[in-house]
Amino acid sequence: AQSVAQPEDQVNVAEGNPLTVKCTYSVSGNPYLFWYVQYPNRGLQFLLKYITGDNLVKGSYGFEAEFNKSQTSFHLKKPSALVSDSALYFCAGLSTGTASKLTFGTGTRLQVTL
Amino acid sequence: DSGVTQTPKHLITATGQRVTLRCSPRSGDLSVYWYQQSLDQGLQFLIQYYNGEERAKGNILERFSAQQFPDLHSELNLSSLELGDSALYFCASSMGPQGSYTFGSGTRLTVV
């Protein structure tokens, strides 16, 4: 069984401040973890993924995520938030094998204000 | 443009009706996935196809069915529609079972 959890429904941050969107995972075997972003009336866009290797993963639009095995977390971060970062963010875990599928968290709405 | 094409973008239909949603995957991608996004259920995995074969099934209702054709496009058929089927239906594709997914822009289905 696998699952990912996003404990916060919404995160509010002022523009220019650092942001963190939290995600914890529970997957069997080696975790394959992803972050996606969804803007209003749009599909999901891939931000970054962790497969193996460095615990700090850099992605699109200045985002990065830190994989922490001991805490089973994969938090999304950005050093300086922009108003245009306001969107719905999804963490996802991928089961391995031929019948793999992405399982998504419930999503966290990020609101960046001036 | 993500490279994954979904049609139609919007669909309004009555209860009891049947609709077909279409998805063309990104060029070179063999896997197609269908997801349902509703306000109260979040993103729910429905079904996966790989090179024409069904590979994984999620919480897909018996009223729903899908297939992937030899040209790799996929169709999701929803029948005996109920009000609760109103949602955004997303298709995603990937090169293989463990590749990054590329999502289409979705089909918004409204059942009235």
What does A95-112 look like in DSSP terms, one character per residue?
--STT--EEE---EEEEE
Q: In tens digits, what is the pLDDT along chain B, a chain of 112 residues?
A: 789 999 999 999 999 999 999 999 999 999 999 999 987 768 899 999 999 999 889 989 999 999 999 999 999 999 999 999 999 999 999 987 667 889 999 999 999 9
Pairing label, strands B19-24, A102-104: unpaired
Residue bearing the bigger pLDDT, B41 or A25: A25
| Cβ separation A101–B42 shorter than 8 A | no
Residue bearing the bigger pLDDT, B13 or A43: B13
Confidence class for position A41, pLDDT limits 50, 70, 90: confident
Q: In Å, how far is A114's CA from the nearest CA of chain B?
A: 28
Mean pLDDT of the A62-69 span: 95
Q: In Å, how far is B105's CA from the nearest CA of chain A?
A: 4
* The pair of three-digit structure tokens given for residue B25, joined into one six-digit string: 């995957």
Interface of A with B (CB under 8 A): 32, 34, 36, 42-46, 49, 90, 94, 96-107
Confidence class for position A1, pLDDT limits 50, 70, 90: low
* The pair of three-digit structure tokens given for residue A107, joined into one six-digit string: 């999503």
Residue B47 and residue B60 in contact, taking contact as beta carbons nearer than 8 Å? yes
What is the three-class DSSP state of A107?
Answer: coil
DSSP structural state of residue A24: E
**What does the pLDDT read at residue A23?**
97
DSSP structural state of residue B86: -
Q: Reply yes or no on whether the pLDDT at A98 is more than 60.
A: no
Among A77-86, A90-99, A101-110, the range of highest mean pLDDT? A77-86
What are A53-63's pLDDT values in tens digits?
889 999 999 99
Phi-psi region of A62 (alpha: psi -120 to 50; beta: other; left: phi over 0): left
B-chain residue closest to A39, CA distance:
B105
Would you call B64 an interface residue with chain A, using a CB distance cutoff of 8 Å? no
| A97 contacts on B by Cβ (under 8 Å) | 97
| Cβ separation A43–B43 shorter than 8 A | no
Q: Reply yes or no on whether the pLDDT at A95 is more than 80.
A: no
| B58 contacts on A by Cβ (under 8 Å) | 101
**What does the pLDDT read at residue B68?**
97
Least confident residue range of A16-25, A29-38, B9-18: A29-38
**What does the pLDDT read at residue A96?**
67
Radius of gyration of chain B (CA): 13
**What does the pLDDT read at residue A31?**
84
